[in-house]
């Protein structure tokens, strides 16, 4: 926790000149996630929210860490073992080490990546970081408005006549049931060709006290955050996708040669899958 504690001293530096569009009185999902991963692009309100998990729910930091690890493995798997070289990362969050473009372009510099997030700090930092990377762009948009995203990227960087990897990394659980998360998946299914990939990582409920407690924290602070059962997560795919081995499993176990023999309680509460469009 040394890195986390040290960030408190940087608060004035980070918040003196917020980017236009910020509301620094409310926590942001992207900035809180950045804080939990040891980043510095966050505000006091995000750290206060993140500290609820760190202090009140010890062990819950396994969730963002395992999620980052499985995303890295999934992108590496796609770019090294399939012909797919186009990625759309929906709700990408803030840039961090081994982000999608860094992993993909490490193996193929021509791999193309579109990052999408509705937080203005993601747009500002992403554009600065990617200014000289012609194969990667970041756009500010809400993943719940997929047509607006599609209209921006179709033909500009992403060729939808070729296979695409669509990434929902720890995002669909922030889409409440009445916002139709399955409909978002269906939108992209209808626009990608056979042989495309869909990656999902998602808060996983075993109808246990821990997931219920975490859900209450998120709903109480953000008004969103839905822990779904394995059956509910698989149902988001609808028809037309085939789930790759090893199926829907805890993120720490997904194609991980260094997987722990015994999972911690919180490690069971984030699951991942990779699916192919038939």
- Say if CB 100 and CB 115 are below 8 A apart: yes
What span, in angstroms and rounded, lies between the C-alpha atoms of 136 and 75? 15
* Domain span at 121: 62-277
Number of domains, the chain: 1
Is pLDDT of 124 > 80?
no
Tokens 């990546």, located at residue: 113
Helix H or strand E encompassing 70: helix 62-81
Output the domain CATH number for residue 268.
Answer: 3.40.50.150
- 202 forms beta bridges with 271
Residue 186 lies in a domain: yes
| Residue 14 counted as domain residue | no
Q: Is residue 267 part of a domain?
A: yes
Structural domain contains residue 104: yes
Total Cβ atoms within 10 A of residue 83: 9
Res 221 pLDDT > 60:
no
- Is residue 12, in this structure, part of any structural domain at all? no
Q: How confident is the model at residue 135 (pLDDT cuts 50, 70, 90)?
A: very high
CA distance 79 to 175: 28
Domain assignment present for 3? no
* pLDDT, position 90: 97
Interval 233-275: pLDDT, tens: 999 999 999 999 999 999 999 999 999 889 988 898 899 999 9
Asked if the structure places residue 92 within a domain, the reply is: yes
* Helix, coil or strand: residue 150: helix
DSSP letters of 83-130? S--EEEEET--S--TT-HHHHHHHH-TT-EEEEEES-HHHHHHHHHHT
Is residue 19 included in any domain, yes or no? no
What's the rounded Cα separation, in Å, for the pair 116 and 79?
Answer: 20
Span 140-165, pLDDT tens digits: 999 999 999 999 999 878 999 999 99
pLDDT, tens only, 17-49? 455 555 677 777 777 777 877 777 778 888 887
Q: Give whole-number Cα distances, 173 to 12, 167, 182, 200, 256, in Å.
A: 32, 13, 11, 10, 23
């Amino acid at each position: 926790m040394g890195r986390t504690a040290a960030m408190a001293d940087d608060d004035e530096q980070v918040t003196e000149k917020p980017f236009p569009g910020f509301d620094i009185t409310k926590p942001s999902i992207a900035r809180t996630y950045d804080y939990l991963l040891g980043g510095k692009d966050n505000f006091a309100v995000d750290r206060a929210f993140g500290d609820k998990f760190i202090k009140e729910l010890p062990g819950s930091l396994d969730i963002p860490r395992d999620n980052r690890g499985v995303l890295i493995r999934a992108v590496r798997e796609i770019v090294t073992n399939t012909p797919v070289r186009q990625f759309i990362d929906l709700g990408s969050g803030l840039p961090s080490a081994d982000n999608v473009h860094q992993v993909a372009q490490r193996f193929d510099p021509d791999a193309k990546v579109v990052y999408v997030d509705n937080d203005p700090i993601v747009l500002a930092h992403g554009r600065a970081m990617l200014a000289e990377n012609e194969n990667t762009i970041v756009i500010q948009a809400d993943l719940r408005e997929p047509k607006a995203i599609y209209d921006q990227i179709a033909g500009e960087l992403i060729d939808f006549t070729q296979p695409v990897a669509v990434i929902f990394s720890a995002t669909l659980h922030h889409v409440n049931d009445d916002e139709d998360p399955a409909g978002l998946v269906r939108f992209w299914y209808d626009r990608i060709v056979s042989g495309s990939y869909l990656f999902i990582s998602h808060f996983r409920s075993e109808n246990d006290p821990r997931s219920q407690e975490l859900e209450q924290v998120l709903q109480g602070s953000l008004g969103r955050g839905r822990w779904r059962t394995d059956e509910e997560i698989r149902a988001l795919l609808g028809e037309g996708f085939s789930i790759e081995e090893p199926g829907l499993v805890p993120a720490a176990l997904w194609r991980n040669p260094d997987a722990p023999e015994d999972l911690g309680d919180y490690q069971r509460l984030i699951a991942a899958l990779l699916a192919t469009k038939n």
